[in-house]
Structure 1
Amino acid sequence: MSPTALKNVDAVEIVDIHRDDLDFSLVDDLYKGLNPAEGTPRSFPTLLLYDTKGLKIFEKITYLDEYYLTNAEIEILTTHAKRIVERIPENAQLVELGSGSVVLATPDPWTLMDCPNLRKIEILLRECERVEKRVDYYALDLSLVELQRTFSEISPEGFTYVGLHGLHGTYDDALSWLKNPENRTRPTVVLSMGSSLGNFDRAAAADFLSGFSKALGPSDFLLIGLDACKTPEKVYRAYNDSQGVTHQFYENGLAHANSVLGFEAFKPSEWEIITGYDEKNGRHQAFYSPTVDVTINNIKIPKGEKLIFEEAYKYGTDEREELCRNAGLISQVVFGNSTDDYHIHLLSPASLNIPLQPSQYATHTVPTLEDFQSLWTVWDVVTKTMIPREELLSKPIKLRNALIFYLGHIPTFFDIHLTRALRGKPTDPKYYKQIFERGIDPDVENPEQCHAHSEIPDEWPPLDEILDYSERVRNRARSIIEEGSANQDRCLAEALWIGFEHEAMHLETFLYMLIQSEKTLPPTGVDLPDFVKLAHYAKENEKQNKWFRIPQQSFTIGLDDSDDQALPKDSFGWDNEKPQRSVHVHAFEAQARPVTNGEYAKYLQANRLREIPASWTLVHSDQDYPTSKGINESSPSATHDFVHNFAVRTVFGQVSLNLAQDWPVIASYDELASYAQWVGCRIPTYEEVRSIYLYADQLRGIDGHTTANGHSSGVNGTHNGVNGTSNGVKHMTNGSTKTSPDMPVFRALIGCTVGFQNWHPVPVTPNGDKLAGQGDLGGVWEWTSTPLTAHKGFKAMEIYPGYTSDFFDGKHNIIQGGSWATMPRIAGRTTFVNWYQHNYLYAWAGARLVRDAPM
């Protein structure tokens, strides 16, 4: 039913969002608890504690010194109000969850409890008012009377920037209300104070939070109070106070049950209340237990049986991390009290929604705030949930900085360019520029040889300090975007663009470093893939890897951005993307898809090679594994006993090579060039790869998908009468040249494994009859044989002169396309140029084979 305004209390509108008859639900739940399925212990609905009288008694409890939870939260909110409010988006709606019920997928769901007493939340609202941040506060409660009483204690006229509202309903109702698009037109912060979440068991708590996590977006947050106290005596006294107020609260639960049932089912003289602290499971428990045998509506309950009606789980560090992971949430900041036994957690949803159409991923020349929010979400998933904090000081790849460097490098680089564009002051601490401006990328053969980079300190700054700095730089960017001044200022617009793309590129850097670590954790909010099912599908749908004749073509490459005073028409670009220029590419033949792990395994076995790609690992410690005899180029595959020695590294852990044989192999250019030579072929040039992509799009335009065209003789790389190992340089040939229309700056990526649509490479063998285009190589970049050099008209960019020119050493080869971790603005831009050292082992790049066309 649509919400209906019930009553206006002191100018505060209270909206009814009820969907179900609560009294009927309570009777039903009560009888289910008293007469559960066989094997399930009896229980008593916690919600029965919270009628109008119960809520009033509970409020008295919150004023008791022994009930430490309330004072701990007040201390935290008072101490950290400024920092918390800084994190709340402008024009946000704050939805505080009070008393209510939510239907969970558990046999006997319990209810969170904490009426929206403004004594605590008013601290935050007053801070919002002080800094003139516009927000609307919504207090949720199942009791209309309590909502009215709550708002009668505060005058809305005392606020100019804060709006006050009430929601009359349960948690389930609130979740439905939040899912309604009409109620989600602005950022949302869901609040749950008082460690109310502790009233769920740990699995149910994760399910509950997961519901809200899935309903929220990249700009939204949750602010959750959690009790971390595990001192038995202190916990016991919190629920067994010396004045007996908590005992009265529990007794009222039985009286409320009688009221709901309509008769005295629970006689006070026949029941006792038993409480205790369970140290093993870290929880307070409270039970009703009959002192005599009782019968309620033909349900017999023997003397001494305990019916649980309240639990309060306590959350240490490990339990908090597990809760966030299972709920699909990212821990952004933890605010603690002075004794560090109570915390308020600022959490953000880990859910991603990364579009693949240019009309959505490149709507403007400058990335939008939504673009940044999506990037920041995936960055936080990777850097805050996939590696233990203590491992951030490690260096999974010895040639790179420690992982923690990148957490400081990203905001520092961004802030340098924002400061330059604004002609302002850098974000403190200013010395970060000395240690975080530029990372190291040494020569693989001689690591002592390296371009200019920031100094490496003896000790990195504290992680929390770096994260706080990062958030302040993000807020700086948010303010600029919201003001809209970058839409008319090329310098400022370019600073935002370079910050976005720089972070997007290093997101992939961080991930391919994590792959090399044994401590990597799966990404929060991402389901574990069914690799067995994926492998079976690939085998059942495998198609021959066909050869396509790529016609001779003339086309333009590069970006047209000649006016340095105005914003570019389509996109900014790095210096190696400019200027736009014409190329002519000869006719040649290319295979549909890249080389697979299985094909590369056959090559290793046939040549008795023991140097495996860095993307693989041995599944045992024995380096002296046997290389079976009798395998050669014409063999269908490597032997099972050989393949069984290896696994492929993924963010989900090792995946047996047997299951990943149909994935594109990830290896260095040198490794793949050797393979190509073994089968009598070569790796395409940069211009040839662009010609392949252009032709693949043309084929899709003809019939909606690529089809075999031209010669398709053989699939193993051999070619009768043709030299497959020519240098593949561009040249004009005799005969007609196909003039193709200019490539669009951005292309659609539907069906491509980019932009975190998957978190691993995918099988490419089912696509053996379709010519793979840009971003369509199964989740890997595409190597080219072209060294990175200064092309005609190249000019180093003024704002980052060493970006490309530092690597004109003849040792770096261009790669194209994108991997599964490449953001669409990069993977879909036809002018983008990436590169790696030809012998660098860790880039997520594969290769397809090409050969000269027959005369």
Structure 2
Amino acid sequence: MSPHKILPATAAAAASGAEIIDIRPASFGLSDLSPEGLVKNIINEFMSPRVVFTHPDTGSEHLIRSIPTMVLYDDLGLEIYDRITNLDEYYLFNAEIDIFKRHAEEMILNYIQDDSVLVELGVGSMRKTKYLLDAITKHRKNITYYALDLSEASLRDCLTPLCAEYPEIRFVGLLGTYDDSLQWIRANIPQTVHKSFLWLGSSIGNFTRAQARDFLSRVASAAMNAGDDFFCGIDGRNKPEDVKLAYDDPKGVTAEFILNGFDHINRLFGRRVFERDAFSYLSIYNRHEGRHEAYYQSKVEQTIDLQDSIQVHLHRGEIINVEYSYKYSDSEVYNATAGTGLAHVDRWKDSSDRYSMFVFQKPSVVFSPEPRLSNGIPVLAEWESLWNAWDVVSTTMIPSDRYLEAPIALRHPYIFYLGHLPGFLDIQLSKAFNLPLTEPKYFATIFERGIDPIVDDPSQCHSHSLVPNSWPALDEVLAYRDQVRRRARDIICKLADAQDTAVDKTAARAVCMCFEHDAMHLETFLYMLVQSDHTLPPAGIVRPKRLGQQPLVPLAPAALAQVSAGQVTLGTLHREQDDGNAGSSFVFGWDNESPELTVQVDGFSVQNRPVAVQEYYKFWCAQGKPESLLPKSWTDDGAAVKTALGPVPIHADGEDANGPASRWPAYVSFDQADAYAKSIGGSLPSEEQIARIRQCVDKTTKGTSPARPRNSGFVEWTPVDVETPADPDSVSQIDDNGWELTRTHFRPFPGFETSKLYPGYSSDFFDDHHFVVLGASWATVPTIASRKTFRNWYQHNYPYVFAKFRVVV
């Protein structure tokens, strides 16, 4: 039973089934949102100018006073706000209604599951809510609708008529704050129940961008499980005159809403602190920040008596901030969710293209955008994220009768890799910590190392584990995996918790090596899954709507960026051979990443973005569509790109390459990229040139990718569109959305020393067949994607890598 108090209902509410639960903690009277807490906040904010005001004309900045936005939302303020939503000028409300009118059924059918719950953060308006409720009723879905608000009166006013009109739906009011609701949901709604959150009215705009990201992160971590949805209404960066009119209507309703805040303050203080007639409402749209700003402006010189001994003098014209309403570009929406544990899966726009309803979802695979390290070692949470990703990929995407399938020739079947990962981890930990091997010990002999023969001559292959006559059963391998992980957890925690000076660097290196080994195989395992016709969609991952949408505007052609000459540093000073040195810091890198090497790079011209699918498709057609130039990342007919979420069309109309995958980077082999580059009189960049491009991008913000966050670490499960930088002299980001192919043979740096922990890791592949590949793909974990010294490599004719390319001319 819930420990929270169920509030007594009025007779009408009781008859209609309305139930309201007070979820506020016992200490609410001391909180910032209680009347006493609000008074304290008013005094603190008003007394100490701390809001930075930027003058819209001059750009000059100075600190100003502020008043908490909460003062606007007393009962009368809510009534006035309801009048605002009826104004034609306040387009946000009507835009949201427009979206619900046209798409409510789609939302309900695609996202709202039967026997699930809807949680509306902030009590809604019947004028919007009814479209969702009508669709729920029409499709006979069993739903419990939770409405959150800090006003009991608002909850009753909203829920009572809804209960009467929709008796099939259970309505529950939650009296409390956002954070109160997250705690209550976690404690009271079973994790097996699907949840959909509604955050409407562009409420996200009342938070700063950092606060919005923090709140979304709290919702995802505290109250959502894999597969749960979050519907978020967001106002766009629209015409300044439209925004200004929406927040400063000719009838003065918004001004009355703002000035009523002073009446509320006076009631809280029990006396007339502010004379509202001595102030006017000042409305400003800040184009630079993308936000509307609401201020009180003093009409006269005046003194405010906050308390007996506290007085504040205001100059005529002085302003006091009371509210911001942030607007969002598409890139700002993506940045708001970056690192929160939420993925973009859908979006609807209103008819005027000014307002959007986004659907974010908590996916089953989530990585922190930045590596979480302690003593240079991935913390246990990083390992759990990696293991969870492995489990989703290896146990939900393969049909139960297909574990002996080998979709890529010259590679082992799936079952080998399910044993190889725990087998390699167990062997390395046993060596590093002088422990016995996990039973069954013979697994170490068959799972230690896989095969990677030369494609041109499969008889040439490095040493590898003995291939058994028959592989162990799946349940045996998974039980072995779980035993190894249990032992590893204790070791990982002890290393991470140790004092830095007490860390055994050899043991730390072994653990880091195992982590990145697991991570690299996670990606190469996906290479195989993408090639199989039997692969299932990953559990808990929704296929985004963008995968079925044709690009709206043509892809801007690539320009040639001029990269100046300069010195670049390759590799790192941190070497395995130095681990025993007292006082040396531990930074992990593989043996081929050291020693450090400085080289001079001549100036060169390079395409400022990767070659897109549509461009490579035209090249392939011009060559007569030979099989040798057909990417293995495409279907055999060249009609679609293979992905972990199924094929995505290259074409939308006939043979024109203008489908949803047409603007993705072309994933091809080195040989195919080399042929394309030569056809336009160029070549692939060298390893040193990629390093120089990275160096130039890092030194100027104009080279970074402005329209989306980094596509690595499973932010998406497919590539996303390449971007042509607006400035032709800038270069798009290297380290995401696909590895970058180079023309540099994979060879050691001068002074290379092979790893003692894993002697054959690099040295087995120093030949004429392998080329250096740099950067990261969508399936590369942040630990690797963020380390620019990391050197990947593949055979020149290996066609399965998630690798893009650009051309040096």
Q: Structure 2 length as normaliser, TM-score?
A: 0.56
| Residue type at the aligned position of 2:557 | Q
1:124-171 CA-partner distances (Å, limit 9, x unpaired) = xxxxxxxxxxxxxxxxxxxxxxxxxxxxxxxxxxxxxxxxxxxxx999
Tell me by how many angstroms 1:692 deviates. Answer: 1.1
Gaps of 5+ in 1: 1-13, 32-99, 113-168, 198-204, 223-327, 329-348, 620-644, 708-748
Q: Any idea what SS the aligned residue of 1:584 has?
A: strand
Question: Equivalent of 2:510, from 490, 495, 498?
Answer: 495
SS at 1:751's partner residue? coil
**Preserved contact between residue 664 and residue 764 of structure 1 (Cα < 8 Å):** yes
> 3-state SS of the aligned residue for 1:815?
strand
Q: Which residue of 1 aligns with 2:452?
A: 441
1:177 Cα deviation after fit: 8.5
- Displacement, 1:766? 4.1
Which residue number in structure 2 is paired with residue 662 of structure 1? 663
Following superposition of structure 1 onto structure 2, how do residues 402-441 of structure 1 map, counting pairs within 5 Å? 402-441=413-452
The 2-side partners of 1:572 and 1:477 are apart by 18
User: What is the rounded CA distance, in whole Å, between the counterparts of 1:465 and 1:173 in structure 2?
Assistant: 50
- Say which of 534, 557, 565 aligns to 2:570: 557
* Separation in structure 2 between the aligned mates of residue 797 and residue 693 of structure 1, nearest angstrom: 27
Q: 1:837 to 1:772 in 2, by over 3 A?
A: same
Given that 1:780 and 1:820 are in contact with CA atoms closer than 8 Å, whether structure 2 keeps it comes out as yes
Contact kept in structure 1, 2:451 and 2:461, CA below 8 Å: yes
Q: Secondary structure at the match of 1:653?
A: coil
- For residues 17 and 704 of structure 1, the distance between their equivalents in structure 2, rounded to whole angstroms, comes to 53
Distance (Å, rounded) in 2 between the aligned partners of 1:786 and 1:416? 33
Task: Answer yes or no: is 1:586 the counterpart of 2:602.
Answer: yes
Counterparts of 2:446 and 2:188 in 1: how far apart (Å)? 35
RMSD, aligned α-carbons: 4.0
Distance 1:464 1:175 in 2: 46
CA–CA distance in structure 1, aligned partners of residues 646 and 715 of structure 2: 18
User: Aligned runs of 1:162-311 on 2, under 5 Å?
Assistant: 180=182
Aligned residue among 350, 354, 357 for 2:367: 354
Give matches, 1:45-56, under 5 Å: none
Give the alignment of 1:306-325 within 5 angstroms.
none
- Is contact 1:101-1:170 (8 Å) kept? no
Aligned counterparts of 1:697 and 1:477: Cα–Cα separation in 2: 37
Pairwise CA distance, 1:17: 2.9
Deviation of 1:543 after TM superposition, in Å, equals 2.5
How has the CA–CA distance of structure 1 residues 446 and 607 changed in structure 2, closer, same or farther, with 3 Å as cutoff?
A: same
Whether the 8 Å CA contact 1:753–1:775 is kept in 2: the answer is: no
Contact 1:666 1:843 (8 Å CA) reproduced: yes
* Alpha-carbon distance, 1:827 to partner: 1.1
Tell me, yes or no, if the aligned pair for 2:665 and 2:804 is still in contact at 8 Å.
yes
1:512 aligns with 2:527: yes
Shift of 1:491: 2.1
Q: Does 1:753 align with 2:766?
A: no
C-alpha deviation, 1:768, in angstroms: 6.7
Q: 1:216: how far off? A: 7.3
Q: How does 1:378-417 map to 2 (within 5 A)?
A: 378-417=389-428
Residue among 604, 609, 619 paired with 2:620: 604
Does structure 2 conserve the Cα–Cα contact (< 8 Å) formed by 1:546 and 1:769?
no
Q: Which string of whole-angstrom CA distances, capped at 9 and with x for unpartnered residues, describes residues 45-92 of structure 1? A: xxxxxxxxxxxxxxxxxxxxxxxxxxxxxxxxxxxxxxxxxxxxxxxx
**Are residue 680 (structure 1) and residue 681 (structure 2) matched?**
yes
1:28 to 16, 22, 40: 16
Partners of 1:101 and 1:814 in 2: how far apart?
50
User: Residue 610 of structure 1: CA displacement?
Assistant: 2.1
Match in the other structure for 2:557 = 544
Letter in 2 for 1:479: D
1:647 is aligned to 640
Matched ranges for 1:86-235 at <5 A: 107=137, 180=182
Separation of aligned partners in 1, 2:9 and 2:513: 54
Number of aligned residue pairs: give it: 502
Secondary structure of the structure 2 residue equivalent to 1:618: coil
- 1:848 corresponds to 2:806: yes
Q: Is the 8 A contact 2:563 2:693 kept in 1?
A: yes
Q: Does 1:16 align with 2:34?
A: no
Q: 1:453 to 1:172 in 2, by over 3 A?
A: farther
1:809 Cα deviation from its structure 2 partner:
1.7
Which one has the largest radius of gyration? 1
Structure 1 residue 797: deviation in Å?
0.2
Percent identity at matched positions?
38
Q: How does 1:62-77 map to 2 (within 5 A)?
A: none
Secondary structure of 1:692's match?
A: helix
- Tell me what 1:799 maps to: 757
CA displacement at 1:585 relative to structure 2: 0.9
How far 1:473 moved relative to its partner? Answer: 1.5
Q: Find out whether 1:577 has 2:588 as its counterpart.
A: no
Equivalents in 2 of 1:407, 1:431: separation in Å?
Answer: 15
Label 1:556 to 1:177 Cα distance change in 2 as closer, same or farther (>3 A): closer
The range that moved more, 476-485 or 580-589, is 476-485
Which residue in the other structure is 2:31 paired with? none
Kindly tell me: are residues 596 and 363 of structure 1, through their superposed partners in 2, closer, same or farther at Cα, counting changes over 3 Å?
Answer: farther
Using the alignment, how far apart are the partners of 1:376 and 1:568 within structure 2? Answer: 31
Q: Is the 8 A contact 2:613 2:666 kept in 1?
A: yes
Please list the CA deviations of residues 276-322 of structure 1 after superposition, one character each: whole Å capped at 9, or x if unmatched. xxxxxxxxxxxxxxxxxxxxxxxxxxxxxxxxxxxxxxxxxxxxxxx
**SS across alignment from 1:617:** coil
Q: Deviations over 1:788-839 (max 9, x none)?
A: 1122011110000000000112100000001110011111101000000001
Partners of 1:455 and 1:189 lie apart in 2 by 52
Q: 1:532 to 1:443 in 2, by over 3 A?
A: closer
> In structure 1, what is the equivalent of residue 30 of structure 2?
none
**After superposition, what is the alpha-carbon deviation per residue over 1:458-479, rounded to whole angstroms, capped at 9, x for unaligned?**
2221212211221222221211
**5+ residue gaps in structure 2?**
20-114, 120-132, 145-170, 199-216, 227-342, 344-361, 652-658
2: CA distance between counterparts of 1:567 and 1:110? 63
| Contact kept in structure 2, 1:545 and 1:768, CA below 8 Å | no
CA offsets 1:82-119 (integer angstroms, 9 cap, x no match): xxxxxxxxxxxxxxxxxx9966885477699xxxxxxx
Please report how far the alpha carbon of residue 361 of structure 1 lies from its aligned counterpart in structure 2 after TM superposition: 4.3
Paired residue type of 2:467: I
For residue 483 of structure 1, report the CA deviation from its aligned partner. Answer: 2.9
Whether the 8 Å contact between 1:387 and 1:520 is mirrored in structure 2 is yes
Task: Read off the aligned partner of 1:804 and give its amino acid letter.
Answer: S
Q: 1:189 to 1:216 in 2, by over 3 A?
A: farther
Shift of 1:762: 1.2
CA shift digits 1:502-527 (9 cap, x unpaired)? 01100101111100001112222222
Q: Are the equivalent residues in 2 in contact too, given 1:504–1:822 (CA < 8 A)?
A: yes
